[in-house]
């Protein structure tokens, strides 16, 4: 089994010394650099290039520079997707965003994790678990989403949160670690 196949199955794999994975990361980081250096007024080339970087997109998406990812092909974004400056997606596993997702500046999505055992870490071993973001989700600035997390539809994640566990539909969640503080629907009824 290749290191890439191990990764796709959620097993420990070697990302640091596998040439296939290294070459894929180099190729997409070159594309990200090219994307980040395009003028904002060059919408046609920005749109063309971001759709080349990402695995699957809908029609209307906007990712402000700077943007970095590990592979690109493991990222799917829905319609009306917007990410502010300095988005980082470590997409060793799938990262899926629904429709109408809004992401504040300096947000990060990390599918990769490392073993607690120093010997295994030093060998270059890691694991990757998918991240899923539902429809109509808003993530404030400086949010970090960790491996294996799902965020439900219509959820709001407050600025500076570190999301370590799943967040259900309609939740407003904040903090480090991120925790639910209220329900969006209940908040709308009381307004």
Among 95, 34, 21, smallest CA distance to 66 is for 34
Q: Which of 60, 85, 114, 170 is catalytic?
A: 114
Is-catalytic flag, 170? no
Structure tokens at 4: 């890439």
Q: Are 20 and 4 in contact (CB under 8 A)?
A: yes
- Which positions are annotated as active-site residues? 114
């Amino acid at each position: 089994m290749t290191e890439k196949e191990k990764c796709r199955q959620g097993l420990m794999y070697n990302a640091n010394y596998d040439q296939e994975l290294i070459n894929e990361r180099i190729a997409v980081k070159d594309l990200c650099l090219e994307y980040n250096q395009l003028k904002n007024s060059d919408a046609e080339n920005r749109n063309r290039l971001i759709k080349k970087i990402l695995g699957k997109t809908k029609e209307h998406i906007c990712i402000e520079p700077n943007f970095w990812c590990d592979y690109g092909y493991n990222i799917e974004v829905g319609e009306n997707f917007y990410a502010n400056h300095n988005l980082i997606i470590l997409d060793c596993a799938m990262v899926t965003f629904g429709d109408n997702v809004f992401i504040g500046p300096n947000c990060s999505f990390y599918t990769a994790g490392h073993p607690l055992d120093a010997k295994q870490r030093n060998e270059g071993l890691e694991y990757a678990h998918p991240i899923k973001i539902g429809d109509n989700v808003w993530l404030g600035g400086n949010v970090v989403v960790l491996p294996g997390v799902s965020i439900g539809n219509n959820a709001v994640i407050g600025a500076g949160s570190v999301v370590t566990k799943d967040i259900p539909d309609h939740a407003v969640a904040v903090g480090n670690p991120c925790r639910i503080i209220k329900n969006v629907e209940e908040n709308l009824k009381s307004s």
